[in-house]
Amino acid sequence: MRTRVAIIGAGPAGLLLARLLHRSGIESVILESRTREHVERRQRAGILEQSTVDVLRACGAGERMDREGMEHDGIELRFDRTAHRIDMAELTGGRSVMVYAQTEVVRDLIALRQQEGGALYFEAEALSVDGADTDEPSVRFRHDGVETTLYADYVVGADGFHGVARASIPAERLRVYERAYPYAWLGILASVPPSCDELIYASHERGFALHSMRSSEVSRLYLQVPPGTDAADWTDEQIWDELEARFAVNGDWKLERGPITEKSVTPMRSFVAEPMRHGRLLLAGDAAHIVPPTGAKGLNLAVSDVTLLAEALAEVFNAGNDALLDAYSDLALRRVWRGEHFAYFMTTLLHTEPGADAFTRRLQSAHLDYVGRSRAAAQSLAENYAGLPLDAFREGAASDG
């Protein structure tokens, strides 16, 4: 088998890259180790920043998002039993976010891929990436019990943190930066209309809580819990009681309760592998970086990676210019580290540090109060949450050069 671009992983990064390449007349093959049913059902992020929304619309993948997604112009911070709204649209000149689950983005992109007849293999396990430092890299994979080699001009690893792509790069070629946080999230899906019009981020002495949503009838909520927590140890009533305590404000706001249909625990960690290119193997999304979910940056960083990568590959194949591809890793990492810092900022601002002394907690309260009172602090949070324009990082790199 041979193609122009071999893509490992049919998550949003791999699928969107294939879609963008198709729009530029570039053939690709996607290999996904899981079943289609698994890929379309796994619960992940649900907040699309402005640039992600713009990319999906521009490539023809935004029709259902615009019909069913929920546009939000702000978020709410809660602390000391008070609510503070961050008006993103007003603070950023009209930028906003869209609440639209990653599972729905994946379904839309798979449907488009199949309509166009593009090659997409489910239950195709990538075993190795070979020859990345040659002119003809390849992916060895197993599908229907048969091992096959897919040759390509370039291989893109969009196969997540545990995928084979990054593991195929010699260890001495990578620099790894990581941090594990001393807390996790207990997340639930509940069949109940959201109790809020916009997301609520709550800082409480008992721990962080987040009220999000998946639709007008389904709520998504999270509680800070210790690492290693078993979701089964929490009864539904305990979860709702704890959420109610952490979201409590002075006034008549009420947390609506309903049947919990899913529980899971997510560890909190930051991870970056540099560089994001080894010869003709390029990394994108979780294969190269992980962020704690507090800043809603994981999916959006993956989209910015492949948007840049698709443009760079189009320049190579259609114009014979490899300058942007040569700059891919550096440009992508500029945005990645900005996203990492914002996620770190939101995580440390809002979570209760286990064993923190009274002085540390007061410092955290003072910072929250500053964000709630200062337009400059609120504006910084708003522009990072809604997402800085994609070109901002490229312009910075050009000026540095």
Told to judge if 154 belongs to the known catalytic residues of this protein, a careful annotator would answer no
Catalytic hit among 12, 293, 328, 351: 293
Name residue 281's beta-bridge partners. 155, 278
CB 302 within 8 A of CB 14: no
Chain centroid to Cα 371, Å, comes to 24
Q: Which CA distances in Å does 241 have to 15, 232, 238?
A: 40, 16, 5
* φ, ψ dihedrals at 325, nearest 5°: -65, -40
Q: How far is it, in rounded angstroms, from Cα 202 to Cα 225? A: 14
Q: What secondary structure does DSSP assign to 197-258, as a single string?
A: SS-EEE--TT--EEEEESSSS-EEEEEEE-TT--GGGS-HHHHHHHHHHHH--SSS------
Helix, strand, or coil (residue 345): helix
Annotated catalytic residue within 100, 222, 328, 385: 385
Q: Active-site residue 204, yes or no?
A: no
User: What is the chain's length?
Assistant: 401
What are phi and psi for residue 65, nearest 5 degrees? -55, -45
> Using CA atoms, how far apart are residues 206 and 110, in angstroms rounded to an integer?
41
State the catalytic residue, choosing from 22, 72, 211, 351: 72
Q: What are phi and psi of 352, to 5 degrees?
A: -90, 115
**Distance, C-alpha 280 to centroid of its chain:** 24
Residues 389 and 334 sit within 8 Å (Cβ to Cβ): no
How far is residue 365's CA from residue 148's CA, in Å, rounded to a whole number? 57
Name the catalytic one among 201, 278, 289, 351.
Answer: 201
Instruction: Report helix, strand or coil for 153.
Output: strand
The one catalytic residue among 137, 297, 328, 351: 297
Asked if 389 is an active-site residue, the reply is no
First-last CA distance in the chain: 40
263 annotated active-site? no
Q: Is 293 a catalytic residue?
A: yes
Known catalytic residues are: 72, 201, 293, 297, 385
